[in-house]
A = this chain, B = another copy of it.
Amino acid sequence: MITQALPKSPPDIWQLIRHGEYDGVTGSLAPGYVQANLVVLPKAQAFDFLLFCQRNPRPCPLIEVMDPGQFEPKLTSAGSDIRTDVPRYRIFRHGELVDEVTDIQSLWNDDLVSFLLGCSFTFESALVEAGIPLWHWETGKNVTMFKTNISTVPAGGFSGPMVVSMRPIHHTKIVRAVQVTSRFPGAHGAPIHVGDPQDIGIADIHQPDYGDASEFKEGQQPVFWACGVTPQAVALESKPPFMITHAPGYMYITNMRDTDLAAL
């Protein structure tokens, strides 16, 4: 493991990861660049999953979808290799996690389709830059996530409830938070709910289904965004024969700037 300061450009970071010189979480790497969720599926499941993402753009914002067998994300990240440049991968067979690895070259074949999906880091940076503090950034915790009673729109074998992330926002900043995140439909976009958690089937705001429970300060209210855990959860529930994802927090770093993802 290297001890000097990490490089900031995505191509330099890919090299480190590819050669086993970095295998940690990516949250603080390459500020200003889009980080992505990875889902790899056999072509037999790829049409239905692509359709699922098209029908559910809030939880599943597509950044790049690669041809069957293609491992270089040419459109956003020319020169990178999706099989080596993610710090940690998870391998699933028939919906069961069977392994966690740092390289998937030996598992690769020409039938696999890779999906890169937008991630909340992009809009969280924009919130912080807009003067809206985030509890989990300040405390180094994981964002608070819940299963909801909001159904995703099914496609083929893929269906299930939407998972949301929740951030406590001061009531004077909620309108601004809606505006700022609306600019990034490629990174989950605007909130899907503001206010009472019970409206979307969340019984206890202090008992998240994933991540850490947030603390609320005086005047803060819960604001909910569609979460990138949704597509992975939905894909797993359909028990595809084979599937590869990144490990949570160990994201793929694209060579696309956050600002390139802004709608306006």
Q: How far is the CA of A47 from the CA of B65 in the complex (A)?
A: 11
* Interchain CB contact (< 8 A) of A65 among B51, B182, B185: B51
Residues 147-202 of A contacting B (Cβ, < 8 Å): 153, 155-156, 182, 185
Contact in complex: A75, B55 (CB < 8 Å)? yes
Q: How far is the CA of A50 from the CA of B49 in the complex (A)?
A: 11
Chain B residue at smallest Cβ distance from A156: B67
Interface residues on A, range: 10 to 19
Contact in complex: A51, B54 (CB < 8 Å)? no
In the assembled complex, A62 has its CB within 8 A of some CB on chain B? yes
Residues 111-168 of A contacting B (Cβ, < 8 Å): 153, 155-156
If the complex has contacts A75-B55, A155-B67, are A185 and B263 also in contact, measured as CB distance less than 8 A?
A: yes
Residues 50-95 of A contacting B (Cβ, < 8 Å): 50-51, 54-55, 62, 65, 67, 75
In the assembled complex, A46 has its CB within 8 A of some CB on chain B? yes
Protomer copies: 2
Query: Hey, what's the 0/1 contact readout for A228-264 against B, CB within 8 Å counting as 1?
Result: 0000000000000000000000000000000000011
Q: How far is the CB of A209 from chain B (nearest CB, A)?
A: 27
Q: How far is the CB of A177 from chain B (nearest CB, A)?
A: 14
Contact in complex: B50, A67 (CB < 8 Å)? no
Nearest first, the 4 closest Cβ-Cβ pairs linking A and B are: A47-B47, A50-B50, A182-B264, A263-B263
Given contacts A51-B65, A54-B62, A55-B75, 4 further A-B contacts (CB under 8 A): A47-B50, A50-B54, A54-B54, A67-B155
Q: How far is the CB of A178 from chain B (nearest CB, A)?
A: 10
Q: How far is the CB of A175 from chain B (nearest CB, A)?
A: 13
Q: List 11 A-B contacts (CB under 8 A).
A: A47-B50, A50-B50, A50-B54, A51-B67, A54-B54, A54-B62, A67-B156, A182-B263, A185-B185, A185-B263, A264-B264
Contact in complex: B47, A54 (CB < 8 Å)? no
Chain B residue at smallest Cβ distance from A74: B153
Chain B residues with Cβ under 8 A from A47's Cβ? 43, 46-47, 50
Chain B residues with Cβ under 8 A from A55's Cβ? 65, 75
